[in-house]
C-alpha cells in the first residue's frame, strides 16, 4: 500500500522484543514522497544502470578537456602558471597574450621547451583536438592525423578521423557536453513554459483555459521541424544556444497538457479548499499547495523530453541546421558520413553515442514512470 506504517506495526512477530515492550512503540517519521519514489526507482536494475550511464556521461562532459585535448591542464611557462584547458569550455578565458604572441595556441611540448627550457605542462590523457587537425611533430613520435577517407581507427585516433582530419574520439567526448547541455537547457525551457501555462489553464479555467488550450492546439498543428527550421532561419546566424531555445520553445505542449490535467484534478482536493479557507492567496495555493503535488507526473515527460531534445538537436545538425564545426555535435559527424559513405567509423561511433544516450534517458524515464505511477505501484505489491 502507498502509506507507510511504522515497522513495529507491520511486522508484529519481530517487534516482540524487550525494548519494544518496555517503551511505547516510537512512531518513525514516515518516509516522504520522494524518498518513496527513490526507493522504488532503486529496485529497478535497468533504470539504475541507465541512471549510472547518465551520470557517467555528465562526468565525461565535465571532464572532457581533461580526457582529450591539446591544451594542457596546467602549464608553467616563463615563471607563471596557466590553465589553458579552460579555452575548451570558455574560449575567452584562455590567456590571450600567451596564445596569440608566444605560442599561437599550440602547446606542444617541443615548442614550449624551445621558448622556455624551464617550462612544464600537464597534458590531457589523449593528445588530440576536437577543433582542428593535429599535425606531425606536435607530440613526440605522433604522426599527423590522416584526412580525407584515410582516417581509419588507429592507435593514435581510437575512433578514426573525419574528412578534415579532426579526431573523432575528441569530437565525441567534447560533443557530450553539447548533447547534455541541449537536453538540459531545452527541457528546462520547455518545462518552465509547460508548467506555467498548464498550471494557469488548469487552475483558473474559463477564458484563460480556452486561450491556452487553443495555443496548445496551434502548436500541435504546426509541423515541429518546420517551425524549428523557420525560427532558426529568422535568427540568421544561429548558434547552439539559439537551437536550444528554439527546441525548448517548441516542445512544451505535452508537459502543459499534463500539468493542466493535474491542476484540474487537484484544485478540487480538500487541502486546497482548506488552504483557501484560511486565507491563502491564489499564488500561494498554486505554488505552495498544488504545484509540489502535481510535479511527480510531469517528471516523466520531462525525462523523455531530454531524450527527444537531444534527438532533435542531432537531427538538426544532421540536416545541416544545428551546430557547425568547430563545435561539432554528434549529428554533425554523422552527417559528414553522408558524403563519405566508405567512412563507416563516422556512422558507427556517433550513432552509438546518440543511441546509448537516448536509450539511457528513456530507461530513466521509464523507471520514473513505474516509480511514480500509483496504479503500477498497487499492482507491484
Partner 1 sequence: MLSYLVRRFLLAVLTLFIVTLIVYGLIRFMPGTPLTMAQAAMDPSRKLSAEDVKLLEQAYGLDKPWYVAYFYWMGNVLQGDLGKSFKERRAVTEVIFTRMGPTLLLSGTSLLLTYLISVPIGLFSTVYSGKLIERGVSVVLYFLYSLPSYVAAMLLLYVFYFRLRDTVWQLKPGMVSDGFSLLSLHRQVMDVGWHLILPLFCLTYGSLAYYSRFVKANMEEAIRQDYIRTARAKGVGPVGVIWHHAFRNTLIPFVTLLGLSLPAVLGGAIILEQIFSWPGMGTLFFSSITDRDYPVIMGLTLMYSVLTLAGQLLADVLYAVVDPRVTYS
The contact set with partner 1 (CB under 8 A) reads 214, 217-218, 220-223, 225-227, 229-231, 233-234, 236, 307, 311, 314-315, 318-319, 334, 337-338, 341-342, 344, 347-348, 350-351, 354-355, 358-359, 362-363
Closest separation between CB of residue 62 and partner 1, Å?
24
Nearer to partner 1, 221 or 278 (CB): 221
Q: What single-letter DSSP state applies at residue 25?
A: P
Q: Between 16 and 380, whose beta carbon lies closer to partner 1?
A: 380
User: Looking at the DSSP assignment, which residues form a beta bridge with residue 75?
Assistant: 82, 121
Nearer to partner 1, 66 or 249 (CB): 249
Q: Which is nearer to partner 1, 263 or 330 (CB)?
A: 330
Q: Check if the beta carbon of residue 133 is closer than 8 Å to that of residue 145.
A: yes
Locate 44 and state its grid cell.
Answer: 529497478
Name the one residue in this structure whose C-alpha cell is 505554488.
287
Nearer to partner 1, 134 or 358 (CB): 358
Smallest distance, partner 1 to C-beta of residue 97, A: 38
Helix (H, G, I), strand (E, B) or coil at 338: helix
Q: Cβ closer to partner 1: 59 or 234?
A: 234
* Contact call for residues 85 and 124 (beta carbons, < 8 A): yes
Distance CA 75, CA 113 (A): 12
Q: What CA–CA distance (Å, rounded) separates 79 from 58?
A: 35
- Bridge partner residues of 167 (DSSP): 161
Report, in Å, the least distance between residue 354 CB and partner 1.
Answer: 6
Q: C-beta of 237: minimal distance to partner 1 in Å?
A: 10
Label residues 16-33 b or e (16+ Cβ within 10 Å = b): eeeeeeeeeeeeeeeeee
Nearer to partner 1, 41 or 318 (CB): 318
- Phi-psi group of 253: left, alpha or beta (phi > 0 → left; psi -120 to 50 → alpha; rest → beta): alpha
CB 225 to partner 1: min, Å: 6
Q: Where are the alpha helices (DSSP H) in the chain?
A: 7-10, 18-22, 33-42, 45-67, 86-89, 96-97, 109-115, 168-204, 206-221, 224-234, 240-250, 253-266, 270-277, 282-284, 291-319, 330-339, 345-372, 374-380
**Burial of 377 (C-beta count, 10 Å sphere; 0-12/13-18/19+):** middle
* Residue 262 CB, nearest approach to partner 1 (Å): 21
Peptide bond into 326 cis (omega under 30): yes
Q: Which residue, 59 or 376, is less far from partner 1 as judged by CB? A: 376
SS3 381: coil
Query: Closer to partner 1 at the Cβ: 54 or 363?
Result: 363
- For residue 235, count other CB atoms closer than 10 A to its CB: 13
Q: How far is the CB of 378 from partner 1 (least distance, A)?
A: 12
Instruction: Find, among 279, 298, 273, the residue nearest to 197 by Cα.
Output: 298
Least spacing, CB of residue 150 vs partner 1, in Å: 16
- Of the two residues 62 and 225, which places its CB atom closer to partner 1 in the complex? 225
| Closest alpha carbon to 151 in 314, 342, 326, 324 | 342
CB of 129 to partner 1, least distance (A): 25
Spatial CA neighbour of 171 closest among 196, 207, 145: 145
> Minimum Å distance from CB 339 to partner 1?
11
Amino acid at each position: 500500500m502507498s502509506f507507510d506504517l511504522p515497522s513495529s506495526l507491520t511486522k508484529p512477530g519481530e517487534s516482540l522484543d524487550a525494548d519494544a515492550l518496555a517503551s511505547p512503540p516510537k512512531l518513525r517519521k514516515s518516509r516522504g514522497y520522494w524518498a518513496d519514489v527513490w526507493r522504488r526507482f532503486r529496485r529497478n536494475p535497468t533504470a539504475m544502470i541507465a541512471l549510472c550511464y547518465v551520470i557517467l556521461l555528465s562526468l565525461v562532459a565535465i571532464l572532457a578537456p581533461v580526457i582529450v585535448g591539446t591544451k594542457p591542464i596546467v602549464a608553467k611557462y616563463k615563471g607563471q602558471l596557466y590553465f589553458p584547458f579552460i579555452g575548451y569550455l570558455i574560449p575567452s578565458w584562455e590567456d590571450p597574450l600567451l596564445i596569440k604572441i608566444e605560442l599561437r595556441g599550440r602547446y606542444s611540448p617541443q615548442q614550449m621547451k624551445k621558448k622556455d627550457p624551464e617550462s612544464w605542462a600537464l597534458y590531457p590523457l589523449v593528445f588530440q583536438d576536437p577543433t582542428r587537425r593535429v599535425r606531425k611533430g606536435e607530440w613526440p613520435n605522433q604522426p599527423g592525423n590522416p584526412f580525407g577517407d584515410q582516417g581509419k581507427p588507429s592507435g593514435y585516433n581510437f575512433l578514426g578521423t573525419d574528412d578534415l582530419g579532426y579526431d573523432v574520439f575528441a569530437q565525441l567526448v567534447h560533443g557530450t557536453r553539447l548533447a547534455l547541455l541541449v537536453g538540459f537547457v531545452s527541457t528546462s525551457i520547455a518545462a518552465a513554459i509547460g508548467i506555467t501555462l498548464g498550471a494557469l489553464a488548469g487552475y483558473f479555467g474559463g477564458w484563460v483555459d480556452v486561450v491556452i488550450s487553443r495555443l496548445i492546439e496551434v502548436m500541435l498543428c504546426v509541423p515541429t521541424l518546420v517551425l524549428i527550421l523557420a525560427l532558426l532561419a529568422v535568427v540568421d546566424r544561429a548558434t547552439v544556444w539559439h537551437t536550444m531555445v528554439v527546441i525548448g520553445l517548441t516542445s512544451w505542449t505535452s508537459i502543459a497538457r499534463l500539468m493542466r490535467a493535474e491542476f484540474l484534478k487537484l484544485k478540487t482536493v480538500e487541502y486546497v479548499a482548506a488552504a483557501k479557507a484560511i486565507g491563502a492567496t491564489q499564488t500561494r495555493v498554486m505554488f505552495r499547495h498544488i504545484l509540489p503535488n502535481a510535479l511527480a507526473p510531469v517528471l516523466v515527460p520531462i525525462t523523455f523530453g531530454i531524450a527527444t531534445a537531444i534527438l532533435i538537436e542531432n537531427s538538426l545538425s544532421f540536416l545541416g541546421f544545428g551546430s557547425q564545426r568547430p563545435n561539432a555535435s554528434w549529428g554533425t559527424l554523422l552527417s559528414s558520413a553522408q558524403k563519405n559513405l566508405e567512412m563507416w567509423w563516422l556512422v558507427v561511433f556517433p550513432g552509438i553515442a546518440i543511441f546509448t544516450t537516448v536509450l539511457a534517458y528513456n530507461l530513466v524515464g521509464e523507471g520514473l514512470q513505474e516509480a511514480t505511477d500509483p496504479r503500477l505501484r498497487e499492482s507491484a505489491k
